[in-house]
Structure formats: structure tokens, C-alpha cells
Structure 1
Amino acid sequence: MTSGKWDDLAPRLMSAVAMVGVGALGVWLGGLWFHGLIAIVVGLMVWELVTMLDTDRSKSPIVLAVIAAVVSMVSIELPASFALPLLLAPSMIGLGRMEQGGVTYAVFTAFILLAGYGLMALRDDFGLTWMVWLLLVVVVTDIAGYFAGRLIGGPKLWPRVSPKKTWSGTVAGWIGSAVVAMLFAGATRAGIGLIGVSIAVSMASQIGDIAESAIKRRAGVKDSSHLIPGHGGLLDRFDGMLGAALFIVIAGQLIGFPPGTQ
């Protein structure tokens, strides 16, 4: 009989294959196709966030989701100086519609919009190679953490908020991201500095994961939604990508990106 700790593996794998297929196509096509995909994902994540936080779910989730998706699509076509206030507009608009959880909504929605903008800018400005690098760092962090946590176990990272996450899985994610960095450092002009950046991106993705877990804990729900079998919702699946993309937006201004190529 299959051990209980592996019961979710099959649906996770099937859903992952579907998501990878859709995501890979969008990343490969780039341009408006990728922008549209990101806009849809951003809108759905905002919808999930509102439904977790707000008890009045009659109008706000759909309205705020549509606003977020439209803002994502429009902002990437504007100069950055004009895009920034537009990206924060859904947070401000939502404050007046939320019955509860308004501050959490405003902050996390800003993260979602900025991360989505960062992903689109990364694909537009630096091309397919560096988009694939970011995706692989986040995916390998998640996969290494999943298997190491179940095979090795050990002390929990933050049991009160995320009882399944272990230090062994966390460190395995860092090691996996370093391996990805070494592969890309050898194939590009980035150099060994990419290893440190990749580990930091791995950490940021884990922080994004934990932050979303904290919101679910506060809301008293197990998953952000039930859109993806075996994974819950889009926030459950892409919380790490939010943290990683937001980190790249900030760190790219400090170190130059890609590292070693400036």
C-alpha cells in the first residue's frame, strides 16, 4: 500500500505537467501571449486572495480580479514611471471594498502586481534564457524541498504556520538552486556570482511560500482555492514565484542583472 505521505503525488504530477505545458508555451511565445497569461494568473490570484480574506464575497472578488488583470496587461505597455502608480491602484481600490483583511489584501495584492510586472519585464528585456533560469530555480527549489522533506524529515522550519516544511527540505532547495546556477553560469557570461543570486532567489521563493501559508492560516483555510487538483489554488502553486519575481525586481536594481554581464 502506498504510504500516506505520497498520496498527493499523482494528482500533483498530473496538474504539474499541465501547468508546465501551458506555462512553457507562454514563456516560449513571449510578447502579448505571455503578458496575457500573466494577466490572467494575476487576476485569479487576486480573486483567491479576496475570497480567503473577505466574508462578503458577492462582488469584490470578481471586480478586483478583473481590475488587477487589466492593470497587469496595460502597465507593461507603459513607461515604468507611469506603470508603478497603476500597479498599486488595485490595492487602493480594494481597500474601499473589503469588509475585512483590507491591509493584508492591499500589501499582498501589491506584491502580486509587482511580481507579475517583473516577470513580464524579465521576459521582454532579457529573453527566454533568463526567464527559464528563474523558473528552474523556483521549480527545483520546490521539488527538492518536497522530496527531501519527506525522505529526510527532521526539524520543522516554522511548524505553527507551515507544519509540513522542514529544514532539510529548505536547505535542499538552496542546494538545488545552486546546481541550476552552475549550469547557467557555464552556459552564459553570468559567472559564479549567479550561484549567490540563485540561492537568494530560492530563499525569496520560500519566503513567498511561507507568507501565503500565513495568510491561509489566518483565514482558516487549507488551500487558496480548488482550481488545481493536487495543488489547491494558483496562490498555492505560484506563491514561490511571487517571492522570487519580486526579489528580482528589487535586487536587479542593486546588483545589475544578469549578474556578471553588465
Structure 2
Amino acid sequence: MSGVPSSGGRWADLRPRLLSALVLLVVGVVHVWIGGKLFLALLSVIIGLMIWELARMTARGGPAWLPVALGLAAGLVLAVDEGVARSPAWLLFPPVALAMVLTPRLLPLVTGVLTLAYLAAGHAIFVIRDDAGTALFLWVLVVVIVSDVAGYFAGRILGGPKFWPAISPKKTWSGTVAGWIGAALVGLGFWAAGQGSGLLPFLSPFVAFAGQMGDIAESWIKRRAGVKDSSHLIPGHGGVLDRFDALSGAVLFVAALQPLVSLMQLAGGP
């Protein structure tokens, strides 16, 4: 039927995009309705799998168990850091990243920086939750989802100049800007619903951009590694890292705002 997205052509990756949105929504629902230790366990597994995928696709020699060990170490360190009161386990984030740098792999320094960034992103989710509550976390989550979906459809329908063709040949300027507009509307909606301050509509496009940069960083690593997906853990849709790269960039940006504006101010608190 004319006008209906097909399984091929320019709509070939529609299903993975929709799956990404679904996965992120599930994580958000778990956070909102359950939270606590179960959410910590889920997040620790996700971060551990992301590090495993990163170590696996960049490995250039070394024992086959090494990516598994790095993933397990990352997940365990995050679980202890957030699950044990006043734990200084975050001090072990750099050693995990250093282990990535010192083992045989493609772009060891870049991979080590990304390892540290993904661990910090896991920590940032708990910082956002503890300092500002569930609504602000959901704002970040919805901004990432809406900007991705809006960018996808605008890019496929409108086309136009590529945003960064050397790294991500499918991303267009039309899709990128549509993602910013969608993000601003999300911020406006949260503010209108009394779930955040008047800063949200203005900050949302920057959060979307940070998410887009998280996605581009992972795309660059994959292109250098010569792989299409970070793994095949999700049959037909890629890996965990493919689903959470943008959220990692977004939450890191929001956490980095604290020296300028407190998370409580963003949440609309005193």
C-alpha cells in the first residue's frame, strides 16, 4: 500500500527504532513503579552488558573471557556503588576503564573513556532520581525517545544534507533539528503539567543533542570496528549498547548541569 512503511528501503530500521523506544519505556516503568533494588539490578545488568559489548567488539587479541570479566566488573561495581550506603565503589570506575585501555583492542584510549562514561551514566541515573525524583528522570527518558522518533521520521521523509556523513551516514540535518523540536515540546509538556520548571523547554533540545552525540559516539566505534551492531543479544535488533547509547549521553549532560543549576530547580522544587 502506498505511503505505508515497508520492511525494506528507507524504513528498514523502523523496527529497531521502535524496539529501542519500547526498551527505554520498560526501564522507565520499572523505575517509576518498582524502583529500589530491582531497578538497581536491572540497571547494573544493562551497564555490565554495555561494557561487555564494547570490550567484545573492540578486542584485538587477548583471552576470550576478558570482555565477560570487564562486563561483570562494571556491573558489580555499579551495583555496590548504588546499593551500599556511603559506598566509595565509584572510585573503582577509573580502574575498570584503565583495564579496557591496557588490554589489546582497537582505539584503547577512546574505548576507556567510553567505559568511564557509561559507568558514570549509570551513576547519573541514580543521582537524578535521588536529587530530583522520578519525574525528572522520565523527562530525560521521554526527550530521548521523542527526539529519536521525530528525527527518524523527519529524516526519512524530508531527507536533505547529512549531519555527519563520515560517522553516521543516515543522520540528516532535518532529522536532527526535528529531534530538537520534539524535545522542546516534551519539555513544554512536562512544565505545563507541573512536573518541572520553566527551564525544561529550553534545556530539552540540549538534552536531545547530548543523546544524539551519545549515539554518534557509538556509531563511530562500530564503524571503526567494522560491525553493524554492538552484539546480537536482541535478535534482529542489535545489542544493549545500541539501545542505551543515547540515554547515556543525555543523563550525563543533565548530571553535568548541577554546577550551574540544581536538579531540584529543574524538577520545579525550591
TM over 0.5: yes
The 1-side partners of 2:223 and 2:155 are apart by 20
Partner of 1:38: 43
CA distance, structure 2, for counterparts of residue 16 and residue 177 of structure 1: 14
Structure 1 unaligned runs (5+)? none
- Aligned twin of 2:78: 72
Once residues 200 and 43 of structure 1 are traced to their aligned partners in structure 2, the CA distance between those partners, rounded to angstroms, is: 27
TM-score (norm 1): 0.91
1:138 partnered with 2:141: no
The verdict on how the C-alpha distance between 1:165 and 1:230 changes in structure 2, with shifts beyond 3 A counting, is farther
1:248 to 241, 245, 254: 254
> How far did 1:179 drift?
0.6
Q: C-alpha separation between the residues in 2 aligned to 1:15 and 1:197?
A: 23
Between the aligned partners of 1:11 and 1:242, the Cα distance in structure 2 is: 18
Find the residue that maps to 1:253 and give its secondary structure: coil
Superposition pairs for residues 208-227 of structure 1, below 5 Å? 208-227=214-233
Partner of 1:172: 178
- Is 1:25 aligned with 2:30? yes
CA deviations 1:53-86 (Å, max 9, x no partner) are 1123602110000000001101123548x34422
What residue identity is the alignment partner of 2:22? V
Counterpart position of 1:119: 125
Cα 1:90–1:17 change in 2 (3 A) is same
Residues 130-151 of structure 1: per-residue CA shift (max 9 Å, x gap)? 1211110110011111111101
- Aligned: 1:261 with 2:269: yes
Structure 2 unmatched runs, 5+: none
Please point out which of 46, 54, 61 is paired with 1:49.
Answer: 54
Task: Look up the equivalent residue of 1:106 and give its one-letter code.
Answer: G
1:206 and 1:9 map into 2 onto residues whose CA distance is: 17
1:8-33: per-residue Cα shift (whole Å, max 9, x none)? 33465356535633552244211111
- Structure 1 residues 180-189 or 213-222, which shifts more? 180-189
TM-score by length of 2: 0.88
User: Aligned-pair distance for 1:198?
Assistant: 1.2
Report deviation, 1:187. 2.1
Contact 1:178–1:195 (CA<8 Å) still a contact in 2? yes
Partner residue of 2:69? 63
Distance 2:218 2:248 in 1: 10
Q: Provide the C-alpha distance between the structure 2 equivalents of 1:211 and 1:168, rounded to a whole number of angstroms.
A: 20
Residue equivalent to 1:188: 194
The range that moved more, 61-70 or 232-241, is: 232-241
Cα deviation, residue 248, structure 1: 1.4
Aligned length: 261
Q: Pick which of 19-28 and 134-143 moved more.
A: 19-28
In structure 2, distance between residues paired with 1:253 and 1:206? 23
Q: Which letter does structure 2 place at the counterpart of 1:171? A: V
Of 9, 15, 19, 1:4 maps to: 9
What is the aligned-residue RMSD (CA, Å)? Answer: 2.1
**Runs of 4+ displaced beyond 6 Å:** none
AA aligned opposite 2:55: V
Mean Cα deviation higher: 141-150 or 222-231? 222-231
Distance, in Å, in 1 between the alignment partners of 2:136 and 2:50 is 24
Partner of 2:206: 200
- In structure 2, distance between residues paired with 1:90 and 1:149: 38
How many Å separate the matches in 2 of 1:243 and 1:18? 17
Pick aligned residue for 2:166 from 135, 160, 163? 160
Q: CA deviation at 1:127?
A: 2.1
User: Match for residue 18 of structure 2?
Assistant: 13
Deviation string 1:85-126 (CA, Å, 9 cap, x unpaired) is 222221123333334432122100000000010012222332
Partner AA of 1:61 in structure 2: P
Which amino acid letter does the alignment assign opposite residue 45 of structure 1?
M
CA spacing shift, 1:176–1:48, aligned 2, 3 Å: same
**Which of 227, 238, 244 is matched with 1:232 structurally?**
238
